[in-house]
């Protein structure tokens, strides 16, 4: 009987799990993964969708990246903000972006937001919450503007305004009090920026600057660092200068190389 050969597959490798468990038992802690503490928001206004995010990435209680990008592109008309473990959000959005491109080639049409939503949802549910990515997905397709919130275990919400992340309650307070239907672009941008600022100032996991992304039928406007409410107060142009004597010299040893090396005179290299 001919046995069918299963080809070696790529993907995750679990070779070191047992070793890591042994090391943890002996007291060696794994390095903390980079999380985006975060405030991410989305809003539907008269002509489309506005997505907003802060720009701080934390590693435990340390700020790892003061100006990271949390708004990822899934397609030309679909963007996604990500909160949770930074590696998970980036890799999931990259994978779904590739899957959407394959899907576009197969169907010959522009991607719809519900397609991206279904792909993200089934992927996250498959991994039962081990992929910790909370996303706000927004876009404008042939059926109009759409906004969805996706939770790490795979459930989704379809809403006119959504917030996620550790600063979501602060941002939701702003939305609940000031949201109204059919806002203009300026009103929408002001409200989203105010919601992100509320998260930046009231939540420790969010900080630095405000990024905005406006998606309409005509295209996308990506405003990186739209507002910078936390500038560094003073940066010296000269940089650091250390005078001689700052570092204590413990010992000095001089080896004259002329005694080790013989120097010969000769012709240069021939052409």
Partner 1 sequence: MAMEDANISLPFHSTRPHDTLREGLASYKQDAVPVHPVQVIQSNFEKHRRQTKRSLIERAYGSAVPLRMDIDRQILSRFQRPSGLLPSSMLGLQSLTGELDEFGFEDFLNDPQNSESFVPVDMHLGMEARLGLSRDPAAHTLL
CA dist., res. 30 & res. 172, Å (int): 34
Per-residue tokens: 146? 């759409």
Q: Considering beta carbons, is residue 133 or 162 the nearer one to partner 1?
A: 133
To partner 1, the closest distance from the beta carbon of 35 in angstroms equals: 19
To partner 1, the closest distance from the beta carbon of 92 in angstroms equals: 10
Q: Considering beta carbons, is residue 91 or 158 the nearer one to partner 1?
A: 91
Per-residue tokens: 260? 């080790």
What are residue 163's DSSP bridge partners? 41
To partner 1, the closest distance from the beta carbon of 108 in angstroms equals: 13
Active site residue 38: yes
- Tokens 């739209």 belong to 226
Q: Considering beta carbons, is residue 127 or 226 the nearer one to partner 1?
A: 127
Q: Considering beta carbons, is residue 105 or 234 the nearer one to partner 1?
A: 105
To partner 1, the closest distance from the beta carbon of 7 in angstroms equals: 5
- For the chain, how many residues are written? 271
To partner 1, the closest distance from the beta carbon of 109 in angstroms equals: 14
Q: Name the active-site residue from 36, 38, 58, 156.
A: 38
What b/e readout covers 154-188, taking b as 16+ CB neighbours within 10 angstroms?
bebeebebbbbbbbbebbbebbeeebeeebeeebb
CA dist., res. 109 & res. 85, Å (int): 32
Q: Is the dihedral of CA 229, 233, 239, 242 positive or negative?
A: negative
- Which residue ranges make up the site for partner 1 (CB under 8 A)? 1-14, 17-19, 21-22, 95, 98-99, 102-103, 106, 126-128, 130
Q: Considering beta carbons, is residue 33 or 95 the nearer one to partner 1?
A: 95
CB under 8 Å to 102, separation ≥6 — which residues?
none
CA dist., res. 70 & res. 39, Å (int): 10
Per-residue tokens: 136? 């706000």
Residues recognised as catalytic:
38
């Amino acid at each position: 009987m001919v046995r069918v050969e299963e080809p070696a597959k790529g993907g995750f490798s679990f070779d070191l799990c047992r070793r890591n468990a042994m090391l943890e038992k002996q007291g060696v802690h794994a390095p903390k993964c980079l999380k985006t503490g975060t405030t991410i928001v989305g809003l539907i206004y008269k002509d489309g969708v506005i997505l907003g995010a802060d720009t701080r990435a934390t590693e435990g209680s340390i700020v790892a990246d003061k100006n990271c990008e949390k708004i990822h592109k899934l397609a030309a008309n679909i963007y996604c903000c990500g909160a949770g473990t930074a590696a998970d959000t980036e890799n999931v959005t990259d994978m779904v972006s590739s899957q959407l491109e394959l899907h576009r080639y197969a169907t010959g049409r522009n991607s719809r937001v519900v397609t991206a939503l279904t792909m993200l949802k089934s992927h996250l549910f498959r991994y039962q919450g081990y992929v910790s990515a909370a996303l706000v997905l927004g876009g404008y397709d042939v059926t109009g503007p759409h906004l969805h919130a996706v939770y790490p275990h795979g459930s989704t919400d379809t809403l006119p305004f959504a917030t996620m992340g550790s600063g979501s309650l602060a941002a939701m307070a702003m939305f609940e009090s000031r949201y109204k239907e059919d806002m203009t672009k300026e009103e929408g941008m002001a409200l989203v920026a105010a919601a992100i600022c509320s998260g930046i100032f009231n939540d420790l996991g969010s900080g630095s600057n405000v990024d905005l992304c406006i998606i309409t039928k005509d295209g996308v406007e990506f405003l990186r660092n739209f507002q910078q409410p936390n500038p560094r107060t003073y940066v010296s142009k000269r940089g650091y200068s250390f005078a001689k004597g700052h570092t204590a010299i413990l010992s000095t040893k001089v080896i004259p190389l002329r005694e080790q090396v013989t120097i010969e005179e000769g012709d240069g290299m021939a052409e």
